[in-house]
Amino acid sequence: LLMIEKLPELVREQVKAIANLKIDKITVWDSGSAGNGHGEGSTAGFLRGLIGSLPPMHELARQAGVELPGILGSVESNKDKGTGNASSLSSPRSESAKPAANKG
């Protein structure tokens, strides 16, 4: 049994644990001193690593026959576009995240 198959159940349990808490605001404090040599803070480094891990995660899920949640985006093969054999990650966009049309 793969851990990814248990992810929805794990998330449900985590949501139950904090369901009755009132959270007004979340603050992320990044000291900016990750010391990774890239000139970025620990939060930026975490996000860079997370985004970098998504294409291999999608490939592993595809090989295992597991469908990942849509929030993790999708991997589009550049091979299909005739630009080589690499893959690119596209993220889902909600209606509220789309830029507003120019009404000028």
In order of 26, 31, 45, 62, 92, the CA distances from 89 in angstroms are 28, 29, 18, 14, 10
pLDDT in tens, 21-60: 888 888 877 666 655 566 677 777 888 888 888 899 899 9
Q: Give one word for 40, left, alpha or beta, with left for phi > 0 and alpha for psi -120 to 50.
A: beta
Check: pTM over 0.85? Answer yes or no: no
Quick one: tokens of 69? 């949640």
pLDDT(96) > 60: no
In this structure, the dihedral spanned by the alpha carbons of residues 88, 47, 42 and 2, taken in order and rounded to 10 degrees, is -100
